[in-house]
């Protein structure tokens, strides 16, 4: 196998879109794009100079790299109809093991540890790429492609990757939900939520130099049950947020008083 | 009352330390520092050129501003021995109502909406100050002092302030705990947690332009129960984190499927 020069995409969602655009920008040729939504495939094809195809069987078997970037539940289904290709086939999932692709001769994982939205631009240079491969040769090729996009390229096993994915859900999905809770609470009271932005920024800034276990502050850490009770009263209108608040407070109170 | 030129501190913790240093830098004179821990009072006195005192009754009654920056539960107690002063007395609490100080002629609240640690430096310019006062005259004076430290000065009622404090606990304390959870999980598996930093940064960056309710992504949002089940299995060693994960997943799944 020579160096990877051409890429086809299976999927046209957030990750596929960002990756296809970045790979094109890096000088690779985007061949075909297959997607359950042909409309989305056409949109991405137009942006990348690729060709939208209607069935997976139409994939050109002579492309160097095939990137499967679709919901986890759909990967197995796509594999059933996947043509026998000599190029490398990768998926971009955090949680699906690499061996779901093992019926193919060359395969791997190309997992960008980042949150992607079609709507927001993203600096690909800061994205860590987690690579896994069916052979050393494939590994080198995938690392080379990844390093065209970002200086952060890591060899990560399927086992490690699933923990990274879990951790990513916590720091991204769930902290985003906490931000939403906080914004909702303020909006209900007519208070501008942008007041919280400096605090949010500082929260992140702090953990760059201080482990979050050390950086932890607040009523639950100092076992200030009076403040916790007041907060719970304020949450009467938001029973779901109250439930979540309570568990955080319980765990933090317990954790920091066991430690002291 | 003339412009505020001299300040005494009741308390010598994180907030008191940062405020005293910033006010001194802004040109105010730091008079006395009282603290339950005389050692801490002396440390702060040395840093600010103030004088550490051993009892609250020793407070010079002719100072322009007295800043009470102590745990919420201790404010009422301190008020019992507070000398009759003509200067303005403020507390810096997010949750304690302003009227806890109403036995004094001039009082208010001077709440910096930020997380402070003695160990980490902080750019005071980006801190929003939430001000409340017993009179218009006091309000103007407090706003003037706050604006010497930061351009973000807001008049916020005791009622609004408690919601801000609650929201602050969510975006700071609880998101910090999520970061700790994620770091713990990776450390257990020998994976470098700094791999998560670009994702954490992007999570914050996104909500500057997109409301977190819109920015939400992840398995729970798309009702990907298979991934959620896998994550819960990975959390077998961390029962407390598992409990918290489960509630986030439940609430997000419910919220986004009610909305769709």
- In tens, the pLDDT along B216-241 reads 999 999 899 999 999 999 999 999 99
Query: Do the Cβ atoms of A182 and B168 come within 8 Å?
Result: yes
Tokens 């909006």 map to which residue? A187
Q: How many residues are recorded in chain B?
A: 260
3-state secondary structure of A65: strand
* Chain B contact set for A251 (CB, 8 A): 177, 240, 243-244
Residue A90, C-beta contacts closer than 8 angstroms, at least 6 positions apart: A65, A66, A67, A68, A101, A107, A108, A109, A110, A142
Residues 6+ away with beta carbon under 8 Å from B60: B8, B31, B32
Closest CB from B128, B184, B248 relative to A177:
B248
Q: What is the pLDDT of residue A119?
A: 72
What is the distance between the alpha carbons of residues B53 and A90, in angstroms, rounded to a whole number? 68
Closest CA to A198 of A190, A187, A206: A206
**Closest Cβ–Cβ partner in A175, A185, A234 for B175:** A175
Say which range, A78-87, A171-180, B111-120, has the weakest mean pLDDT: B111-120
Closest residue in A to B196 (Cα) is A168
Spatial distance between the Cα atoms of B196 and A94, rounded to a whole number of angstroms? 13
Distance CA A251, CA A238 (A): 20
Local structure of residue B252 (DSSP, 8 states): H
Which of A255, A256, A231, A258 has its CA nearest to residue A245?
A231
How confident is the model at residue B77, as a pLDDT?
93
Q: What is the pLDDT of residues A24-78, one digit of tens each?
A: 999 999 999 999 999 999 999 999 999 999 999 999 999 999 999 999 999 999 9
Residues with Cβ < 8 Å from A8, sequence gap 6 or more? A30, A31, A32, A33, A34, A50, A59, A60, A63, A65, A66, A67
Candidates A212, A230, A236, partner chain B, best to mutate (most B CBs within 10 A): A212
> Which residues from A are below 8 Å from B215, CB to CB?
117, 176
DSSP B144: H
Distance from CA of A151 to the nearest CA of B (A): 12
pLDDT band at A175 (very low <50, low <70, confident <90, very high): very high
Taking the CA of residue A69 as centre, how many other CA atoms within 13 Å lie in the half-sphere pointing to its CB?
Answer: 23
Q: Calculate the alpha carbon distances from A103 to A10, A193, B215 in Å.
A: 17, 51, 36
Which one of B120, B191, B202 has the shortest CB-CB distance to A160? B191
Supply the mean pLDDT for chain A: 95
Tokens of A4: 């990877």
CB-based contact A185 B207, cutoff 8 Å: no
* B128-154 pLDDT, tens digit each: 999 999 999 999 999 999 999 999 999
Q: Which of A92, A203, A239 to mutate to test the interface with B (most CBs of B within 10 A)?
A: A203
Are B182 and A170 spatial neighbours (Cβ–Cβ below 8 Å)? Answer: yes
B44 contacts B17 by C-beta, under 8 angstroms: yes
CA torsion sign for B207, B252, A75, B195 is positive
Distance from first CA to last CA of chain B, Å, rounded? 59
| pLDDT score of A121 more than 90 | no
Asked if the model's pLDDT at residue B122 lies above 90, the reply is no
Taking a C-beta distance cutoff of 8 angstroms, is the pair A122, A99 a contact? no
Q: Is A126 exposed, middle or buried (0-12, 13-18, 19+ CB in 10 A)?
A: middle
Task: Give the residue-averaged pLDDT of B248-260.
Answer: 87
Write out the E strands in chain A: 6-10, 29-34, 51-53, 65-68, 88-91, 107-112, 129-133, 153-155
Contact criterion met (CB below 8 Å) for A71 and B226: no
Portion of chain B with pLDDT greater than 70, in percent: 99
User: Would the pLDDT of A231 be above 60?
Assistant: yes
Q: What is the mean pLDDT of residues A220-233?
A: 95
DSSP state of A126: G
Q: Tell if the CB–CB gap between A206 and B120 is shorter than 8 Å.
A: yes
Q: Chain B: residue nearest A167 by CA?
A: B182
Average pLDDT over residues B98-123: 91
Nearest to A168 among B163, B175, B196 (CB): B196
Please name the helix (run of DSSP H) or strand (run of DSSP E) that holds residue B205, with its range, or none. helix B197-209
Geometric angle at alpha carbon A7, from A5 and A9, rounded to 5°:
170
Task: Look at residue A259 and tell me whether its pLDDT is greater than 60.
Answer: no
B198 to A115: CB separation less than 8 angstroms, yes or no: no
Decide if A137 contacts A1 (C-beta within 8 A). yes
In this model, does residue A203 exceed pLDDT 70? yes
pLDDT, residue B2, reads 75
Residue-wise over B162-193: b if at least 16 C-beta within 10 A, else e?
bbbbbbbbbbbbbbbbbbbbbbbbbeebebeb
Residues B89-106: b if buried by 16+ CB within 10 A, e if exposed: bbbbbbbbbbebbeebeb
* Nearest CB to A216; choose among B176, B200, B244: B176
Residues B110, B112, B116, B121, CA torsion sign: negative
Residues of chain B neighbouring A248 (CB-CB closer than 8 A)? 173-174, 177, 244
Mean pLDDT of chain B: 95
Contact across the interface for B212 and A183, Cβ inside 8 Å: yes
For residue A230, the chain B residue with the least C-alpha distance is B95
- Mean pLDDT value across residues B167-184: 98
Chain A residues whose CB is inside 8 A of the B166 CB are 182, 185, 231, 234-235
Which pLDDT does position A1 carry in this prediction?
A: 54
- Is B195 within 8 Å of A127 when comparing Cβ atoms? no
8 A C-beta contact, residue A19 and residue A69: yes
Query: For residue A131, is pLDDT > 90?
Result: yes
Percent of chain B's residues with pLDDT above 90? 93
User: Is pLDDT of B259 > 70?
Assistant: no
pLDDT above 70 for B1: no
Residues of chain B in contact with residue A113, where contact means CB-CB under 8 angstroms, are 195-196, 198-199
Instruction: Give A103 to chain B, closest Cα distance, Å.
Output: 23
Please report, for residues A130, A212, B55, B71, B259, the alpha-carbon distance to residue B124 in angstroms, rounded to integers and kept in the order given: 38, 21, 30, 21, 40
Q: Does the predicted TM-score (pTM) go above 0.90? A: yes
CA of B230, closest CA in chain A: separation in Å? Answer: 8
Task: Write the CB contacts of B1 (distance below 8 Å, at least 6 apart in sequence).
Answer: B64, B86, B87, B88, B106, B137, B141
Q: Do B217 and A178 touch (CB under 8 A)?
A: no
């Amino acid at each position: 196998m020579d160096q990877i020069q051409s890429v086809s995409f299976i999927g046209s969602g957030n990750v596929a879109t960002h990756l296809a655009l970045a790979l094109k920008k890096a000088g690779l040729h985007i061949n075909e794009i297959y997607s359950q939504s042909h409309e989305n495939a056409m949109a991405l094809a137009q942006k990348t100079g690729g060709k939208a195809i209607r069935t997976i069987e139409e994939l050109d078997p002579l492309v160097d790299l095939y990137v499967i970037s679709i919901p986890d539940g759909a990967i197995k289904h796509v594999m059933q109809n996947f043509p026998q290709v000599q190029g490398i086939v990768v998926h971009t999932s955090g949680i699906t093991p690499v061996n779901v692709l093992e019926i193919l001769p060359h395969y791997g994982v190309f997992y960008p540890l980042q949150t992607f939205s079609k709507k927001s631009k993203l600096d690909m240079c800061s994205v860590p790429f987690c690579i896994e491969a069916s052979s050393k040769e494939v590994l080198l090729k995938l690392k080379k492609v990844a390093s065209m996009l970002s200086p952060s390229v890591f060899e990560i096993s399927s086992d490690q990757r699933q923990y990274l994915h879990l951790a990513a859900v916590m720091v991204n999905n769930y902290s985003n939900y906490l931000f939403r809770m906080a914004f909702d609470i303020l909006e209900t009271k007519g208070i501008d939520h942008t007041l919280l932005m400096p605090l949010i920024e500082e929260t992140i800034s702090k953990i760059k130099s201080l482990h979050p276990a050390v950086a932890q502050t607040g009523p639950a850490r100092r076992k200030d049950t009076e403040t916790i009770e007041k907060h719970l009263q304020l949450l009467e209108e938001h029973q779901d947020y109250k439930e979540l608040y309570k568990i955080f407070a319980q765990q933090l109170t317990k954790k920091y008083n066991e430690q002291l």
